[in-house]
Every structure is written in structure tokens, then in C-alpha cells.
A and B are shown apart, each in its own frame.
Chain A
Amino acid sequence: MKIKSAVIWVAVIGFFGGLLLAQELLKKNGVGLLPGQGGNFTLQSDKGPVSLVDFKGKVVALYMGYMACPDICPTSLWNLTEAVKLLSEDEASQVQGVFVSVDPERDSPRALGIFARGFFPSFVGLTGERNELDSVSRQYGFIYEKVPLKDSAMGYVIDHSSIIYLIDRQGVLQAFIPHDTPPQKIRQELLKLLS
């Protein structure tokens, strides 16, 4: 009887302790970081296939969206660019910006390359087959949905999460940067992974 109640108490304390811990983690990261989230992927650039493992040794800042996005994607990429520019030249050379387009029907690897380098010379722009993009999205917890806009010249838009995924030098997803985070704060997050 005593053992049974002790087990229950351990379970109860464990459960609420876990909740508190999860809350703290959520507060810290803005969005919850789930174990096992992230991982390698291979997509197409204008210079051939690129894999996350190619950037081993660098801190990767991954952002997903689409080029026809007039506001959300460029805002996030400019914030990231400004953050990288706030770093020293040596630090900046250890950061790899990666933009993944989930709109391969409109965005060619060639156009994505021009687009990404327009932000920062070392940034890469990638895309791939629908199933590959869906798989990367699942891995990183990125949500997107193609939505037809009948009354608009856009034809369709892509509703999407706006998060910068920070990946450490070993290729492990370490942090989420929520939308509209100012460059100074992004810089601090990059520095944590650079040190």
C-alpha cells in the first residue's frame, strides 16, 4: 500500500514537474522544441544538390517560405541578414543562411539563388520535389498550406509558419526564432551557438 501511494506520488510530482519544465522551456524558446525534431535533408540549389550535413561546422539559420511572399519572408530574411551583419566578419563566416522555398512551381533553384544571395552573399536558396519539401516541413515542424485566392492575381498564396530554425555546428536543431524577432536578439541567439 505504502509503495503504491509512493509510486502515485512520484508519478504526480513527475507529471507536474514535467509540465513546469515544459512551460519554462516554452518561455525560453518561444515555441516548444520537441526531441528528435530537425535533422538532415537534401534539396536543390542553382549549383546542384545541397544537404544540411554539407554545412557541418557552421551554425545554420534555416527559414522556409516562398519568393512571391511580399512581406513575411523578406522581413524575416532581412532581420536575419541584419543580425549576421552585426556579427564580426569571422563569426559571420561561420553562419550559413538557408532559405527553402515550398513553392517549387513558381520558384526555380536559379531564381532562389539570386534571391538568397541578394540578402547576404553566402546565403543559399533551395527547393525540391513536393514530397521532399513535405518531409523537411514535418522534420522541423513547419506548417504550410497552398491556398487558392480566386479573386486575386496571386492565383494562390502559401500560408506558412514564420520561424528561423537555428541548427548547431553538429546539425542539431537548437532553437526557434519566432516571427518579427529584432536583429539584435537574433544575433544573441546566433552567438550562443557560435561560442
Chain B
Amino acid sequence: MKIFALTGLIFFAPITLADVAFNIDVESPYARAAIKQQRNSAVFMQLKNRDDRTASVVSASSPVSDTVELHTHINDNGVMRMRKIPRIELPGGQTVELKPGGLHVMLLGLREDLQIGQQVEVTLRFDDGSEKKLEAPVQRVMPPGAMHKKHGATMGH
């Protein structure tokens, strides 16, 4: 029995270490301040994939809203078209930026006002089923410094 358990540990250990959540760094997350009457808000962040394989965020959840979805914006000649997307792809060795006017984690059906200074808990789920929990401080626009980090600027490998 003991031997079995040990074999299992050895067998599964590398897989556990290689799960997507382990290889993704979340940088400068923040949620946008909103009042309940707006119904919705968004969470932005930079997601750095330290692995060399492409991974994806496939869903998210948060206690502050009824539903959480992944969305993006298309700027079609000045007309902003927001659309739900099934996943946010995180290419290996790159940083993907969720930012205003682009990709975001969308909070739908706010259960409370999101006030500056408050922390919003968000759980990201990846394509291998692993999860990452993060705390996003509520901000008006953007935390200082976050604007300087550009999409794909950090090449890990």
C-alpha cells in the first residue's frame, strides 16, 4: 500500500509541478471602481506565462458578481464592439496584457459597489483545470506604472 502511494507520488509529482497555474504570474491586477447601478465592471492585469507552451485562461469567478466572463474589445473604426471570448491565450514565454480597451475579465451583475481601496477576489481557471486565486485592488483607472508595461514586451525565453 505504502509502495503504491509512493509510486503515485513520484508519478504525479512532475505533472503537478507543470500545471498551468504554477507557470503563470499575475502582475499588477486591478478592478475598476463601479457602483452597483452600473451592474458590471472589469478586472485588468498582466499574465506572464513562464512556460514555453501556450496556455489559456478558460474561465474566471469572483464573489463580487453573479457571473464572470472573458471579454475583449474590437475598435472598429472608432466604434467599440465588446465581445465575449471563450479563452485568453497565453503564448509561451510571453506576457499578455488585460487592459482598458482590450482584453478583460468582466464582472457581470455586481453584488456590491466596488470602492477604491477594496480588494476583489478573482479565481482564474486554466485549460488544464488548474486555478489561480488573486486579489485585485479597486482602482479608478490604472495603477501608476502599469501603463509602461506593453503587450508582449516581456519575452521570457
Contact = CB atoms under 8 A, between A and B. Distances in A.
A69 B78 contact: no
B101 A159 contact: no
Nearest to A144: B79
Given A67-B39, A70-B106, A179-B101, A162 B80 contact: yes
A72 B86 CA distance: 21
Interface stretch (B29-37, B48-56, B130-138): B29-37
A157 interface: yes
Give the most central of B34, B41, B76, B79: most A CB within 10 Å.
B79
Nearest to B75: A179
Contacts of A145: 79
A147 interface: yes
Contacts of B108: 152-154
B35 A160 contact: no
B50 to A, nearest CB: 28
15 contacts: A31-B78, A68-B38, A70-B41, A70-B71, A71-B101, A78-B140, A78-B141, A79-B141, A115-B35, A118-B35, A147-B81, A149-B83, A153-B69, A157-B81, A159-B81
Contact of B37 (A115, A149, A152): A115
B101 A153 contact: no
Contact of A152 (B69, B100, B107): B69
A152 B80 contact: no
Interface of A: 31, 67-72, 74-75, 78-79, 82, 106, 111, 114-115, 118, 143, 145, 147, 149, 151-154, 157, 159-163, 178-180
Give the most central of B37, B41, B141: most A CB within 10 Å.
B37
Contact of A179 (B32, B40, B80): B80
Contacts of B79: 143, 145, 159-161
B81 A70 contact: no
A70 B107 contact: yes
A75 B38 CA distance: 14
B9 interface: no
Contact of A75 (B34, B40, B100): B100
B109 interface: yes
A161 B34 CA distance: 21
B151 interface: no
Interface string B85-113: 00000000000000011001011110000
Contacts of B80: 72, 159-162, 179
A74 B32 contact: yes
Contacts of A69: 40, 82
Contacts of A78: 140-141
A178 to B, nearest CB: 7
